[in-house]
Amino acid sequence: MSNNEKIPFLDLVTPHKELEQELTAVFQKVITTAGFVGGPMVENFEKEFAEYCDAKYCVGVASGTDAVRFPLMAAGVKQGDIVVTVPHTFIATTEAISQAGATPDFVDIDEKTYSMDVEKLKNYLERECYQDRESGKLMHRKHRAPVTAIVPVHIYGQCADMDPILELAARYNLIVVEDACQAHGAQYFSKKENRWRTAGSMGHAGAFSFYPGKNLGACGEAGAITTNDEALAKRMKTIRDHGQAKKYYHDIEGYNGRLDALQAGLLSVKLRRLAEWTKQRQAAAAEYDRLLAKVDGVVAPHVPEWSRPVYHLYVVRVADREGLQKHLAEAKIDTGIHYPIPLHLQKAYEARGFKNGDFPVTEKIALEIVSLPMFPQLQPAAQSRVVQTIQEFSAVGASH
């Protein structure tokens, strides 16, 4: 690879070029049958994706945001409830909670894994809440509202530490919706069950996004929910389709939140490649790990022994993040920041009265993280140039 060729953050063109014929055939089938919404293409994809996630059921929806919102509603989260998540995630997580009528509240993340700190969750539930004797509900002391659900986020494609989260949820009778929007096929070793489990199959439901840049991406907007609970799957199918189980018989007000047949068909084609793409991402991550081990001042991703991540993103930490990004940009290497502003400090949540210092780990890492190029077709030669460029910078950085 030449020294001034651009290294993109993500390449969405190559995989679609490779699959062009198969994808075009899906489009032709859709227009010749005019099966645009629902139907066999959606049902087939749902069956295949449930299987991929080791879950019994899958409900295709219009986006990852719907995929977080619908299971919360279907599992009984109500207006005024509190749903606990992390401030280090994409805003869709908390939008979905608010749109379900609940109030998102936060616990901080672990400094190594960047996902929910289970000790902090335990403290939150034990110290900030009490069990109401009459209703048996877990009430938040200060907010005077019931805490009814937890949304752990499998950030960057690595599962949150689910055993203790599920144990706490069982103890307090809380709903768990995994935000697996970045974690298609990620694995977690459950000590409790002594087996590897798949993202989206551990909580009451798992939420997936097929936004084009995700590990499995549609050619547009799409999402899916996985669950092992048949009744929950049924309620979610009603919610995504205007509250009807039968046409024009509306049990409740629902949403227009269905998965398009076209997207489902395209996703089926791409799903057949996902295991291979995931292996390529894992190989690229291993290559970065190997190259970065020789570079001082760069914190590579931490992978606990209970985790097999799928590397939606490869995120490192450095002291001078802005400087490094600029240096890489000058070498025509694209990078990203996921995410620069913690959710509790976003303008959207200004009225909630959060302040700097509330979630110190999230705040600290938000200043240091930088996402390096990561996609299945990323070549070792490009990775070596990325790391060499980082090395040049840390050598310069160290001499200041």
Site residues for ligand PLP per CB under 6 A: 63-65, 89-90, 92-93, 153, 179, 181-182, 209, 211, 223
Q: 154: which 2 tokens?
A: 């499998």
| Pair 222, 62: CB distance under 8 Å | yes
Which of residues 82 and 225 has its CB atom nearest to ligand PLP in the complex?
225
In the complex, minimum distance from the CB of residue 153 to ligand PLP, in angstroms, rounded to a whole number: 5
In the complex, minimum distance from the CB of residue 154 to ligand PLP, in angstroms, rounded to a whole number: 8
Say how far apart CA 87 and CA 77 lie, in whole Å.
Answer: 20
If you search the block for the tokens 């919102």, which residue do you land on?
69
In the complex, minimum distance from the CB of residue 64 to ligand PLP, in angstroms, rounded to a whole number: 2
In the complex, minimum distance from the CB of residue 147 to ligand PLP, in angstroms, rounded to a whole number: 21
Cis peptide before 156 (omega within 30 of 0): no
Which of residues 115 and 389 has its CB atom nearest to ligand PLP in the complex?
115
In the complex, minimum distance from the CB of residue 85 to ligand PLP, in angstroms, rounded to a whole number: 10
Which of residues 180 and 378 has its CB atom nearest to ligand PLP in the complex?
180
**Of residues 61, 68, 60, 118, the one with CA closest to residue 90:** 68
**Of residues 153, 179, 150, the one with CA closest to residue 165:** 150
Torsion of CA 92, 95, 100, 106, to 10 degrees: 100
Give me the helices (H) in the chain, please: 13-18, 20-33, 40-52, 64-74, 92-99, 118-127, 162-172, 230-240, 261-292, 321-330, 360-366, 380-399
Work out whether strand 103-106 and strand 82-85 pair parallel, antiparallel, or are unpaired.
parallel
Under the phi-then-psi rule, with left for phi > 0, alpha for psi from -120 to 50, and beta for the rest, what region is 125?
alpha
In the complex, minimum distance from the CB of residue 220 to ligand PLP, in angstroms, rounded to a whole number: 10
Rg of the chain on CA atoms, in Å = 22
Which of residues 63 and 238 has its CB atom nearest to ligand PLP in the complex?
63
Which of residues 147 and 207 has its CB atom nearest to ligand PLP in the complex?
207
If you search the block for the tokens 């009744």, which residue do you land on?
231
In the complex, minimum distance from the CB of residue 370 to ligand PLP, in angstroms, rounded to a whole number: 17
Which of residues 257 and 376 has its CB atom nearest to ligand PLP in the complex?
257
Which of residues 72 and 153 has its CB atom nearest to ligand PLP in the complex?
153
In the complex, minimum distance from the CB of residue 62 to ligand PLP, in angstroms, rounded to a whole number: 8
Say how far apart CA 376 and CA 19 lie, in whole Å.
Answer: 14
Label each residue of 16-37 as H, E or C. HHHCHHHHHHHHHHHHHHCCCE
Say how far apart CA 218 and CA 223 lie, in whole Å.
Answer: 9
Which of residues 218 and 386 has its CB atom nearest to ligand PLP in the complex?
218
Which of residues 188 and 211 has its CB atom nearest to ligand PLP in the complex?
211
Which of residues 153 and 174 has its CB atom nearest to ligand PLP in the complex?
153
In the complex, minimum distance from the CB of residue 91 to ligand PLP, in angstroms, rounded to a whole number: 8
| Pair 102, 245: CB distance under 8 Å | no
In the complex, minimum distance from the CB of residue 177 to ligand PLP, in angstroms, rounded to a whole number: 11
Q: Which residues pair with 7 in a beta bridge?
A: 333
> Which residue lies nearest ligand PLP, judged by its C-beta?
64
